[in-house]
Each structure stands twice: as structure tokens, then as C-alpha cells.
Amino acid sequence: MNGPLAEALSAVLLVVVLVCAVVRPWGLPEAVFAVPAAAVVIATGAISLDHTAEEAARLGPVIGFLAAVLVLAQLCDDEGLFQACGAWMARTAAGRPRRLLGQVFVVASLITAVLSLDATVVLLTPVVFATAARLGARAKPHVYACTHLSNTASLLLPVSNLTNLLAFAASGLSFTRFAALMALPWVVAIGIEYLVFRRFFAVDLEAGAQAPASAGPPELPLFALVTVAGTLVGFVVTSAVGIDPAWAAFAGALVLAVRALIRRRTTPAALARAVGLPFLAFVLALGIVVRAVVDNGLDDALGQLVPDGTGLPALLGIAALAAVLANVINNLPAVLVLLPLTAQAGPGAVLAVLLGVNIGPNLTYAGSLATLLWRKIVHEHDTDVELGEFTRLGLYTVPAALICSVVALWGALELIGT
């Protein structure tokens, strides 16, 4: 297939895949559209077999890591971790919506960082709905916090987001070095989000709420907490000795899975569903389609836009480009496109891309798959999400959080180095 035709075909198929991922016609999984699109670009020669194999080899470990983390998060939910978080928030909020918002920020940020953004969107959001209802508080500020923090709070660890896993692999950093460089941007971005939320939702937070009936402290699922802590230690150790951290995630999931099966809290079928095979197939297929687009000219076009160097102006430019691209074609394709163009500049440029594709999606519904999934869950709770309100909130949070977090990243790079 000649160049212009291959370029047009791969671009059209990418648009189709992304639109279907957003709309999900007839409720079908994203993979139903992405896998045939990948097959078409391979069959027509829009991507070579060598590049297909190369992309599959690059994404394979990342997809395996994601599968293990998804199972780990679901098993933590089966152990009662999220219900315990909801009970703690309801008890300590004492009928004060502002205090509840702060607690949601803390809990959502930690869950996103440790168990990935999917855990916050899928498992914590319903708990936040129930907690707000229990207190008689308006749910909107706290529920909106779940979607914003599923993106913004996923900056801290390589395991927090699929985009992080991709950036981690491209950066050449160790697990601890990655976390050290992203810690300050993570705190800064979350802090700005919190300040904006307090002002933006002032009316909702002033509305009355009631303290729940007195009850003792919630029972903590200690086994799940110890397993998660051990898994985090495993991430650090495996990264230090040169072993893929996916093995630590797999070990943590296996420990909880064996316990849950013995206690009959889960079944093999439930574990298989938790793996999310259709979504994993979507990620692989999307990666192949994006690689076809890149091979047929997108890399040359974007290469002229990516700033050179890792000084503060360059990092700001890279992060802004990543944020714009995330809102145009979604953050996962954006990171797949930009990483090869920035990896040669060093870890600082890669992490700037990550700031753009993780914070930027809070501006539009289509910015990340997590936001699309959150919107579906909110609708299932008979709550409307107004496009204008969502966008206004994004305009208040995204530019400020992005600029300040890039400055924080630049400062961390200057102080800690790579």
C-alpha cells in the first residue's frame, strides 16, 4: 500500500476506534471495534509485521502489569477495603461536607496512586455516592473529585495509570526514582485541584448535612492492607534488582486470590472478569493502530512541534502539547505517539508528557477512558453531568495544575536529577 493511502486508512481507523470507544455503540466493548481495525492495518500493510511484533513486545509487559493490578483492586474490594473507606469518611466527616471533600481527596488520591485510576472510578465512585447519601450531603463535589483525581492523582507511581506504565518503560528510571521525581508534581496538582473545588462547589459544600448514627470505628481489612503494602515493597525491590515489577503485582494478586477462593468470596469466573480481557485486547489493538498512524507520517508532523531540551520552557511546551493531544485523540493514543518522540531527550521530557496526558484529560469527557467510564457510572446513579459545568471546572483546574506541576517537575529534576 502506498504512503498516502496507508496514512489515510490508518488515520480513519484510529478515528473510528476512538469514536466507538467514546460512544460504545450497542453497549459493545471497545475491543469489538479496535481488534478488527488492527487486523485491517496489518493485512493491508499499513504497518509492517516487524513493527507489529515490536509494538506487541513493547505493550505485552505493560498489559500483563495492568491485568494484575486490575485483579488486585477487585480483590481488595471483595475484602471490604472500599466499604471501610466509605465508613471511615462518613464517621469522621461528622456531617460536614467540606471535611468530607477533604477526605475524598485523600482517599481517592491514595487509591489512585496505589491501586490505579480504574479502582477510583469503578470501585470508589459508588462508595462516595453512598457516603454522601448517608450524610444527606450533595454528592456532586465529591463525585466530581473522583474523576478529576483518577487522572490528576495518577501521577505518583508507575502503577497508577496505564500511561504511567508506558512512560515508566520508556524513561529508564527505577521505580523509586520515578516516584521521587513525581512526588512534588503530584502534591502540587492535587493541592490546586482541592483549592479550586472548594471555591467552585462552595454552594454545594455549604448545604446542610447530618452526622451519621454513632458507630464504632470501621473494621479494616488488615490482610488486604498488608498485601497491598507488601506489593508496593515488591515493586521497589523488583525494580532495584532488574526484574519486571509486574511479577510483584502478580504475586500480590495471587495471594489475595487464593485467600478469596478458599473463603469463597470470589470464583474463578469472577477473577477472569476482573482481568478485563476485552479491555486488554483493546489496548493492544489500539497500540497497533496508533503505531500505523505514526509510521505513516504522524511522527514527522509532531516531531516538528515537540520542543527540544529539558529546560523549563521545553517542559512546559511538551506538557501543553501532550494535554492538547490527549483531548483531541484521548490520552492513551497521545502517550503512545509522543513517547518515541521525547524519550531521546531524557526522562524529564517523558515525565512532562505524563503530566500533560494525566492532568489534561480533566478538560473534556473524551480526554481519558477513565472519564468516559466515570460518566457511565454517574448516569447509572441517576445523576446528570452537565457538559458546560464539567468544562468550566476543567478550565479552572487544568491550566493552573499543569503549569504548576511542570514547574514542580523542573525543580525536582534540578534537585534530584535523573
Which residues are within 8 A (CB) of 150 and not within 5 positions of it... i.e. 6 or more apart? 108, 112, 117, 118, 120, 121, 368, 370, 371, 374
What does the pLDDT read at residue 377?
A: 83
| Residue labelled with grid coordinates 479550586 | 196
| C-alpha cell of residue 287 | 497500540
CA distance 340 to 285: 18
Nearest to 202 by CA among 152, 138, 124, 131: 138
Position 213 pLDDT exceeds 60: no
Read off the C-alpha cell for 418.
535523573
* Residue 49: count of CB within 10 angstroms of its CB: 9
Of 41-45, 168-172, 233-237, 240-244, the range with the lowest mean pLDDT is 240-244
Coil, strand or helix at 377: helix
- Predicted pLDDT of residue 217: 65
∠ CA 157-313-187, nearest 5°, is 30
Tell me the mean pLDDT in the region 323-347. Answer: 89
Size of the chain in residues = 418
Predicted pLDDT of residue 235: 87
The Cα 178–Cα 246 span in angstroms is: 16
Cα–Cα distance, 184 to 197 (Å, whole number): 20
The alpha-helical segments, DSSP class H, found in 241-276 are 246-262, 268-275
Q: Which residue in this structure is represented by grid cell 509494538? A: 55
What's the pLDDT at 310? 85
pLDDT at position 23: 76
Stronger pLDDT, 95 or 9, i.e. the higher one: 9
Least confident piece of the model among 214-218, 350-354, 404-408: 214-218
- 72-102 pLDDT, tens digit per residue, is 989 998 998 888 988 888 888 777 889 999 9
Per-residue pLDDT, averaged over 330-356, amounts to 91
d(CA 3, CA 298): 12
Give the pLDDT of residue 336.
86
Does residue 58 sit in helix, strand or coil? helix
According to the model, what pLDDT value does residue 211 have? 64
pLDDT band for 303, please (50, 70, 90 cuts).
confident
Q: CA 333, CA 283: separation in Å to the nearest integer?
A: 9
Residue 278 buriedness (CB in 10 A; 0-12 / 13-18 / 19+): middle
* Distances, alpha carbon 48 to alpha carbons 22, 42, 258, 301, in Å: 28, 7, 42, 20
pLDDT over 70 (residue 212)? no
For residues 390 and 123, give the distance between their C-alpha atoms in angstroms, rounded to a whole number: 21
Residue 20, pLDDT score: 85
119 vs 393, which has greater pLDDT?
393
pLDDT at residue 299 in the model: 72
Q: What is the pLDDT of residues 223-234, one digit of tens each?
A: 999 999 999 999
Q: In this predicted model, what pLDDT tens digit does every residue of 274-296 receive, in sequence order? A: 888 888 898 899 889 988 988 88
pLDDT at residue 103 greater than cutoff 80: yes
Q: Which three cell numbers stand for residue 381?
A: 446513579
pLDDT higher than 70, residue 249? yes
pLDDT at 416 exceeding the cut of 70: yes
What are the domain boundaries of the chain?
A: 1-46+278-295
> Cα separation of 132 and 134, whole Å?
5
pTM as predicted: 0.85
- What pLDDT, in 10s, does the model give residues 361-384? 999 877 887 887 788 788 777 777
Assess whether pLDDT exceeds 90 at residue 260: yes
Cell numbers 534488582: residue? 241
DSSP codes, 31-90: HHHHHHHHHHHHHTTSS-HHHHHHHHHHHHHHHHHHHHHHHHHHHHHHTTHHHHHHHHHH
Across the range 1-16, mean pLDDT stands at 84
Number of alpha carbons in the 13 Å side-chain half-sphere of residue 201:
27
Question: Helices in 296-386 by DSSP H: which ranges?
Answer: 299-303, 312-329, 331-342, 347-359, 369-380
Per-residue model confidence (pLDDT) at position 149: 96
Q: One-letter amino acid identity for 126? A: P
How far is 173 from 204, CA to CA, in rounded Å?
A: 43
Report d(CA 331, CA 47) in Å as an integer: 22
CA–CA distances in Å: residue 388 to residues 139, 197, 385, 394: 18, 16, 9, 10
